[in-house]
């Protein structure tokens, strides 16, 4: 498992701008070395804020050679403004030349899996498998994560079956404590298939959970603690989110 690296920025604006620059550099480096890159996007304030910054400064990303997945999704109808994919499109994807065949959104609640988020989760696991070169999950170049104040990442909330999942890579959540209640999420075993995991977090309300996760709290209590990349685990923070870390 990779070491944890912590980077602190003065405020949310500089944090999301720095995360965006790192994202562009990492995608470009992967594309230069093997022709394509694969990333996992997150929802939430800092995750979407970072995508807006990428839109402003997209660098040399070859958008046609990028596979885009999601770490979690609110199981809502297509086009619902609360969906993470809708927010990511508005922030970035509708403004760049992505190949939408390589934009792997999670299923919608008014599609063929309506009312069956578990079947939708199985279907998304198959999507991951179809892009994994013979394995079950791709080695993502970057898995982006936001974090909730109680330490949730993706839709993995403390003390839930989803955060305890050890075998499946995608599961349904039907009673999320944060609305909306029904979601689909990659599990910690799927997150750990990423080369790099970045937790992009801002705000004093997250400071306690940041400190607990960086100190190695049990993932069942602080799910972010279990989010580790194969070669790097980066906590990208603003000074408020970092305020409870030891010096």
Ligand X SMILES: O=C1O[C@H](COP(=O)(O)O)[C@@H](O)[C@H](O)[C@H]1O
45 near ligand X, rule: CB under 6 A: yes
Tell me which of 22, 40, 47, 156 binds ligand X, using CB under 6 A.
47
Closer residue to ligand X in complex, CB, 28/220:
220
Kindly state whether residue 151 participates in binding ligand X, applying the rule CB under 6 A.
no
Nearest Cα residue to 86 out of 75, 78, 95, 98: 78
What's the CA gap between 199 and 46, in Å, rounded? 10
Cβ–Cβ < 8 Å for 191, 152: no
User: Which residue lies nearer to ligand X by CB, 150 or 195?
Assistant: 150
Non-local CB neighbours of 3 within 8 Å, separated by 6+ positions: 232, 233
The interface with ligand X within residues 171-210 (CB under 6 A) comprises 178
Residues 222 and 206: beta-carbon distance below 8 Å = no
Choice between 181 and 218, CB closer to ligand X: 181
Residue (131 or 178) nearer to ligand X, CB: 178
Is 225 one of the binding residues for ligand X (CB under 6 A)? no
Q: Which of 46, 87, 109, 225 binds ligand X (CB under 6 A)?
A: 46
Q: Which residue is nearest to ligand X (CB)?
A: 44
C-beta closer to ligand X: residue 31 or 222: 222
**Which of 39, 15, 5, 54 minimizes the C-alpha distance to 193?**
39
Strands (E), 138-212: 142-145, 170-173, 183-186, 196-201
Question: Hey, is 8 helix, strand or coil?
Answer: strand
DSSP, res 147: -
Cα separation of 114 and 98, whole Å?
Answer: 27
CB of 237 to ligand X, least distance (A): 12
Sole binder of ligand X in the list 12, 105, 155, 187 (CB under 6 A): 155
**CB closer to ligand X, 58 vs 148:** 148
| Interatomic CA distance for residues 16 and 46, integer angstroms | 7
42 in contact with ligand X (CB under 6 A): yes
**What is the spatial distance between Cα 144 and Cα 229, in angstroms, rounded to a whole number?**
11
Stretch that binds ligand X, among 1-9, 13-21, 109-117, 145-153 (CB under 6 A): 145-153
Question: β-pairing, 183-186 with 72-74?
Answer: antiparallel
| Residue from the set 138, 148, 219, 226 that interacts with ligand X by CB under 6 A | 148
Per-residue contact flags (x/-) with ligand X for residues 59 to 98, judged by CB under 6 A: -------------x-----------x--------------
- Enumerate binding residues for ligand X (CB under 6 A): 42-47, 72, 84, 145-148, 154-155, 178
């Amino acid at each position: 498992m990779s070491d944890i690296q912590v980077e602190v920025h003065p405020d949310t604006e500089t944090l999301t701008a720095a995360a965006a620059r790192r994202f562009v550099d990492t995608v470009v480096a992967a594309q230069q070395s093997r022709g394509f890159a694969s990333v996992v996007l997150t929802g939430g304030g800092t995750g979407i804020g970072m995508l807006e910054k990428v839109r402003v400064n997209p660098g040399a990303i070859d958008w046609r050679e990028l596979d885009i997945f999601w770490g979690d999704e609110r199981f809502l109808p297509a086009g619902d403004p609360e969906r993470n994919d809708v927010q990511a499109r508005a922030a970035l994807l509708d403004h760049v030349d992505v190949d939408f065949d390589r934009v792997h959104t999670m299923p919608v609640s008014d599609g063929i899996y309506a009312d069956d988020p578990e079947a939708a989760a199985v279907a998304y696991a198959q999507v991951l498998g179809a892009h994994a070169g013979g394995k079950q999950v791709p080695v993502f170049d970057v898995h982006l994560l936001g974090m909730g104040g109680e330490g949730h990442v993706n839709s993995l909330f403390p003390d839930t079956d989803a955060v305890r999942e050890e075998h499946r890579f995608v599961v349904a959540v039907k009673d999320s404590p944060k609305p909306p209640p029904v979601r689909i999420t990659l599990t910690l075993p799927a997150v750990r298939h990423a080369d790099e995991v970045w937790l992009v977090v801002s705000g004093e309300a997250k400071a306690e959970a940041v400190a607990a996760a960086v100190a190695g709290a049990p993932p069942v209590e602080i799910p972010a603690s279990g989010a580790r990349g194969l070669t790097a685990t980066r906590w990208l923070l603003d000074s408020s989110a970092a305020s409870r870390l030891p010096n």
